[in-house]
Structure 1
Amino acid sequence: MIRPDGGRAPRLLGRPVPPRTVAWLTLVWLLLWGELSVANILGGLLAALAVVWLLPLPAREPALRVHPVGLLVFLTGFAADLVVSSARVAFWALRFGTVPPMEIVEVRLRTSSEVMAVLTVVALSALPGSLVLEARLTEGELLLHVLGPTGDVQRMVRADVAKLEARIVAAFGTTADREELR
């Protein structure tokens, strides 16, 4: 099993034993027993080693990473989107007797990562005036209901979703996700 630092995990009788997992399981053991003693520490270590040796997990790359600069860009852009969306909804809400324009738009996401697609759906659902009607994550397609658009709605909504998705991938994406958007 390859560790994030590029080294190899120590082995016990030919099987990899991830030190972080052993430490975490030992800590859980100690918390369950509620007493810090040498016997509990040794028992926790033995139990943790037995669990990771008998029930090995497959090696995998984390599906979500946090990139501080990308996170800052995402949060700033999302805050701006919230202000614009709220103003648009308030504008239409204050025009009594006028039915605001509404549009159903199908958007294709550019990344194939389901984690990035779910984060995009959550962000879109949090914006006033937009609603995700259907999310076909395996195909990377979203069906959106948008309130109050003007102009070339289809193109504008697709461009806005593409920008949001790019900011999410820049903030939380893996290397593979980032490469997919290039």
Structure 2
Amino acid sequence: MRGTPTLLGRPVPLGEVAWLTVVWLLLWGDLTVGNVLGGLLASSVVVWLLPLPTLDSGVRIHPVAALVFLVRFAADLVLSSFRVAFWALRLGTSPPVETVRVRLRTSSEVMTVLVTVALSALPGSLVLEAELEDRELVLHVLGIRGDVRATVQADVTRLEGAIVAAFGTPADREEIR
């Protein structure tokens, strides 16, 4: 824990102290010097007496790639919303519906979860099953014509690449190259 101050030989993480102080102030509901100082004291004691283990979430934020991902994801949201709206407004015509199995390139569970959440957030697609051992997702897709499997695989591969570039560890990024 580089840069973390210590008190009597034990680390006192400033981020946790700040967060707990904010919670303290929200609970008291009044921003006064006494409440801020009391919150700082209480949170310092709590993080010193009850240290949390250091966990690696497996997520790294790469700001430029995250911005690119967010722009692409917003465009995907708009496009898929229009696709679903188009089929919803076509009275008497059922949209094409498919269940497609796609392969992921990443073996990271964290990246797989992020891809799954992103796909499920898009209107017209839903992840039915995730098989981590086989690196496969089973998707229910709505409103795609033509070679559905190839189209969905290309979309998932592009989305997966953007997510891993934005949030992956160096090992995750290397794996999908």
Q: TM-score interval w.r.t. the shorter chain?
A: 0.7 to 0.9
Does residue 156 in structure 1 map to residue 113 in structure 2?
no
CA distance in 1, matches of 2:81, 2:161: 22
Q: Percent identity?
A: 67
Structure 1 position 36 matched with structure 2 position 17: no
Taking the aligned partners of 2:83 and 2:103, their CA distance within structure 1 comes to: 24
Give TM-score scaled by structure 1 length. 0.72
Q: What's the counterpart of residue 70 of structure 2?
A: 75
| Contact persistence 1:116–1:169 (CA under 8 A) | yes
C-alpha change, 1:103 and 1:40, in structure 2 (3 Å) is: closer
Contact persistence 1:114–1:138 (CA under 8 A): no
What letter matches 1:158 in structure 2?
Q
1:104 aligns with 2:94: no
The answer to whether the 8 A contact 2:66-2:165 is kept is yes
C-alpha change, 1:101 and 1:13, in structure 2 (3 Å) is same
Structure 1 residue aligned with 2:6, among 3, 8, 11?
11
Q: How many residues align?
A: 176
Gaps of 5+ in 1: none
Structure 2 unmatched runs, 5+? none
Which amino acid in the other structure matches residue 123 of structure 1? A
SS in 2 for 1:60: coil
Q: Once structures 1 and 2 are overlaid, which stretch shifts more, 9-18 or 79-88?
A: 79-88
What is the aligned partner in structure 2 of residue 167 from structure 1? Answer: 162
What TM-score does the superposition give when structure 2 sets the normalisation length?
A: 0.73
Give CA deviations for 1:6-36 in whole Å, capped at 9, x if unaligned. x342222332221222233344435544363
